[in-house]
Amino acid sequence: MQDEDNGQEGGGEVDWREMRARLVAQEQGLKGSSDDGEWVYNAGQNVERGCLLLAGSANRFGFGLRQQHFHKCVMLVISTEAEGTKAVIVNRPSEKRTARGWPVLFGGEVRGFTAPPGDQEWTCVHCLPLPGGSPRWGRAVLGPWRWLSLADAEALVDEGAATPRDFWVFCGFSGWGAGQLQREMDERASWHVAAASAPALGELMRGAAAAWPGEAGVGAWTALVQQMGLRPSPVGHVGHLSDRLLRAWARAELLGDDRQRQERTLAALARAAARRAAQGEEVGTPPGTLLRAALPSHFILRQQFLHKAVLLVLRDEGEATVAVVLNRPTANSVVFQAAPNDAGDAGGGAAGG
């Protein structure tokens, strides 16, 4: 769907969305429309600007093993254009701040927290009344909700036209190329689509931003799933492994200051190197050494096969250390084909591995 933004508040847009919500409520017997204007309903696969995307849980682990930030996330679609779709995650508050001290939410992995400072993209969302439909207040999303850059939001605050509390600030975003999002919904049921009214969106945004970052917005996702009448798979149940991985990700990415954490890590490595040098220890890890993954594990979010692993060092040649994991048996097997001997015989054998 191509975005249409004429700089107005979108009164006509609200009318047809409200009308559609009332029809859905009548047909499905849902609480899709109410007197206070707050409604949310399952929109099937109808992705449009201003809709919400909820992470699906049809796969065995959902997004728990990789891309944990997507597990039980709620995204607001801010742009649907011919070249693709753009959205920000609205239920991932963090303890991070902008240079001016404004609270920041994790908006997505693209140009997000892990990108170099110069490559990060900052998006601000607000629902302020528009003075004369000025484009300086950003592009339309849904009803009075609009989005603009952090620089433009700061300029409005400097002019006294707004305050920092008027904006939700997101670092990073999520994006799909043309047809990519639809394929993810068709092939893997990765996403549920929710249509929501502007007041319901405001309630979601305020509640999600005020939540404790370590909770990772699970409460907001659960509430919306219930409103939509969805029945999540076991992956969606509270306390599933994917939930624990998501909270581990939240502790690593949303709490505290990355720079301070990196400085502490580098300082610890420097102290360890100095200690080994003072004790006259050899550099390197001799063959035959057994290594045990440290706890708390640094492999819980990535390379999970190394979590609580025991490794045997085979060789250490300076440029690289080669080791094998001893405690990860599998049901796989390999077949070894022996080379022909001098008499022309050939032999074979099989071994489990």
348 versus 24: which is more confidently predicted?
Answer: 24
Report yes or no: 176 and 167 within 8 Å, Cβ to Cβ.
Answer: no
Q: Please give the Cα distance from 216 to 243 (Å, whole number).
A: 9
With b for 16 or more beta-carbon neighbours within 10 A and e for fewer, the 294-325 pattern comes to eeeeeebbeeeebeebebebeebeeeebebee
Q: Which of 54, 122, 118 is nearest to 94 (CA)?
A: 122
Q: Please give the Cα distance from 306 to 301 (Å, whole number).
A: 10
Residue 53 has pLDDT above 50, yes or no: yes
Q: Please give the Cα distance from 307 to 328 (Å, whole number).
A: 11
Q: Which of 279, 328, 338, 336 is nearest to 308 (CA)?
A: 328
Mean pLDDT of the chain: 80
Q: Give tens-digit pLDDT for 272-330.
A: 667 766 776 666 678 888 777 765 555 656 667 777 788 888 888 767 888 888 888 88
Q: Give tens-digit pLDDT for 161-202.
A: 999 999 999 999 999 999 999 888 887 778 999 999 999 999
Asked which of 84-88, 129-133, 297-301 is least confident by mean pLDDT, the reply is 297-301
Any bridge partners for residue 298, and if so which?
Answer: none
What is the structure's pLDDT at 104? 97
Q: Please give the Cα distance from 257 to 95 (Å, whole number).
A: 8
Task: Give Cα 173 distance to the centre of its chain.
Answer: 9
Output the six-digit token pair for 51: 């809709």
Q: Quote the percentage of the chain above a pLDDT of 90.
A: 41
Find the mean pLDDT for residues 126-140.
82
Residue 350 has pLDDT above 90, yes or no: no
